[in-house]
Structure 1
Amino acid sequence: MKERPTFPAKLATAQHPAGPGSAKARSLPAPLPPAQGLGMDSVAVRMRMVHLLQKQGVSDAAVLAAMGTVERHRFVDSALVNQAYEDTSLPIGLGQTISKPGVVARMLELLRNGATGTLGRVLEVGTGCGYQAAVLSLLAREVYSIERLRGLHDKARDNVRYARLANLHLLFGDGMQGFAAGAPYAGIIAAAGGEAVPQAWVDQLAVGGRLVAPIAAPAHGALHAKAAGQALVVLDKTAAGVRQTVLEAVHFVPLKSGVA
């Protein structure tokens, strides 16, 4: 991959409980400054969510630490903060939702694919409220996150501003086109599902890279089949071509082109 500047996130480090199977704790980012007056800034609240993710089978210690670091209640409407750390999706406006923590953690673990260090450049399609982008910023050297809805793009910018995550770049544009200026990417992750993985994403994925996205549930293993429901799909790009793995059923908002 071609060289690009590195922009480390301005976060302190602290010890985080190791994930299942880990011999000891790892040094990972500390929680961000607590929000005032919301009553959800306790580390214990986030750790309960992390322990639930472990029970669901998430074992990547870096993913668990990042999930325990980013304060999810900062990314939801004030009326919903009491549900922020439950394993549920929540509305964020404009007909969109913030994915439930279990799905976010599952997709990030798949994206990392057992990596022992930080990922390189990652493209996220569908910024939404900015929560997953913030978590990604703790797992990757550089993150480009693109959102097609101006209202959500602006909301995400407001939500992440306090954290000063200088390795996170929020973009307004058509996510189906990807972001060629930042390519090639070590990883691509999508928060919306279409009938197929757009060719632009495959083209922008680096050889050796991995893409994780929901698509219309394939029939007979065909990526472009039209079928009811969605499935989580992993694409691994190798020198010999693209290898596809279809995983469990999921439910995401539809992938759309253009901006609004």
Structure 2
Amino acid sequence: MNIDFARARETMVEQQVRPWDVLDARVLETIATLPREAFVPQAVRSLAYADTELPLGHGETMMKPVLEGRTLQSLLPQAHESVLEIGTGSGYLTACLAHLCREVVSLEQHADLADAARARLAAQCIANADVVVADAFAWTTDRSFDAICITAAVERVPARFTDWLKPGGRLFVVRGRSPAMEAVLVHRDVNALRTDSLFETDLSYLAGAAPAPAFIL
């Protein structure tokens, strides 16, 4: 099957991403430029621009393009900023973040996914993203970041994640219980955290952040 990926990318931007109120020029340029198909597993490459989550292995998935667009627009990394990504997955959102900011540190708990993401980033000549094999709930660092992007859902936002924010920094995450989840942007103000509700969605949970199973009698 011969697919015109450039045309598919243009259609995705105009028919999926823009209509979901993703209007920031830098974000749209990033999505319109980066070849999403280069980050999609070969088995599902024909679906690279479809309005659906895509399987990556280990129970992980690649977010829908519209949600990737809203994530980038909500976080809106600037050219001078450092970003922490929790959940590298395919490396596509990592690449988008790297296009928008100075530096990305991305955590991925599965070594094979991390290796594949590194190879894809290198193939696109993206040198300002560092993929680290680590469990976000065990990883430690003395660094803090301007922005944090969590690519899977949590029931509640763990304090260890917001502790990594610089003063004035912000964190994007989808929180709650499926299917009634909300995307939020958490801001670290001088003396407190402030949370803005963004939109409703549904997303697979980050490993270790899902609610405990409920027992039904």
TM-score of the superposition, structure 2-length normalised?
0.87
Aligned CA distance change for structure 1 residues 228 and 68 (closer, same or farther; 3 Å): closer
Whether contact under 8 Å (2:179, 2:202) holds in the other structure is no
Q: Secondary structure at the match of 1:58?
A: coil
Alignment counterpart, residue 102 of structure 1, candidates 66, 75, 81: 66
- Size of the aligned set, in residue pairs, is 208
2: CA distance, partners of 1:81 / 1:228 = 27
| Structure 2 residue runs without a partner (length 5+) | 210-217
Which protein has the larger Cα radius of gyration, Structure 1 or Structure 2? Answer: 1
Measured after TM superposition, the shift of residue 180 of structure 1 is 2.0
| Residue aligning to 2:13 | 50
Measured after TM superposition, the shift of residue 126 of structure 1 is 0.3
Q: Encode CA deviations 1:111-159: one digit per residue, 9 max, x unaligned.
A: 01xx7x5250000000001110011110110000101122211221222
2: CA distance, partners of 1:47 / 1:178 = 38
Alignment counterpart, residue 254 of structure 1, candidates 185, 205, 213: 205
Amino acid at match of 2:11: R
Amino acid at match of 2:122: R
| Structure 1 residue runs without a partner (length 5+) | 1-36, 218-226
| Residue aligning to 1:30 | none
| Residue aligning to 2:191 | 240
Q: Secondary structure at the match of 2:194?
A: strand
TM-score of the superposition, structure 1-length normalised?
0.73
Alignment counterpart, residue 111 of structure 2, candidates 145, 150, 153: 150
Whether contact under 8 Å (1:193, 1:214) holds in the other structure is yes
Alignment counterpart, residue 46 of structure 2, candidates 75, 82, 87: 82
Alignment counterpart, residue 56 of structure 2, candidates 92, 100, 105: 92
2: CA distance, partners of 1:38 / 1:135 = 26
- Aligned ranges 1:1-260 → 2 under 5 Å: 39-42=3-6, 44-52=7-15, 53-112=17-76, 117-177=78-138, 180-181=141-142, 183-217=143-177, 229-257=180-208
In the TM superposition, structure 1's runs of 4+ consecutive aligned residues that sit over 6 Å from their partners are none
Q: Encode CA deviations 1:84-129: one digit per residue, 9 max, x unaligned.
A: 11222111112111101100110110101xx7x5250000000001
More helix per residue: 1 or 2?
Answer: 2
Whether contact under 8 Å (1:177, 1:201) holds in the other structure is no
Whether contact under 8 Å (2:121, 2:127) holds in the other structure is no
